């Protein structure tokens, strides 16, 4: 019985990790999309669309968000390499 409980705990932990990883993939995809969109908007000539300072701020905000997600990916990779995941 104790072994079944341990198996269930392991399965719960793995399911939680998979959910975290899927959430991270979703965040990564959204962040890269926002970064690409912000960069494309920043390349528009002045006067077409949003003012240049807003474009620069949008690119910087998207870059910061992408860097945050990148650090989380690195943390997951380190945990996996150390045997703390799966």
Tell me what pLDDT residue 80 has: 87
The answer on pLDDT for 72 being more than 90 is yes
The answer on pLDDT for 62 being more than 80 is yes
- Spatial separation of the C-alpha atoms in residues 71 and 69, rounded to whole Å: 5
DSSP 44: S
Give me the chain's average pLDDT, please: 87
- Spatial separation of the C-alpha atoms in residues 52 and 19, rounded to whole Å: 39
- Spatial separation of the C-alpha atoms in residues 58 and 80, rounded to whole Å: 33
Tell me what pLDDT residue 3 has: 80
pLDDT in tens, 10-49: 888 889 989 999 999 999 999 999 999 999 988 877 666 6
């Amino acid at each position: 019985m104790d072994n079944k409980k341990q198996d269930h705990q392991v399965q719960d932990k793995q399911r939680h990790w998979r959910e975290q990883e899927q959430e991270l993939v979703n965040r990564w995809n959204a962040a890269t999309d926002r970064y690409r969109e912000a960069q494309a908007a920043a390349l528009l000539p002045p006067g077409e669309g949003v003012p240049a300072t807003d474009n620069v701020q949008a690119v910087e905000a998207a870059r910061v968000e992408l860097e945050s997600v990148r650090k989380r990916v690195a943390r997951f990779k380190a945990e996996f390499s150390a045997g703390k995941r799966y």
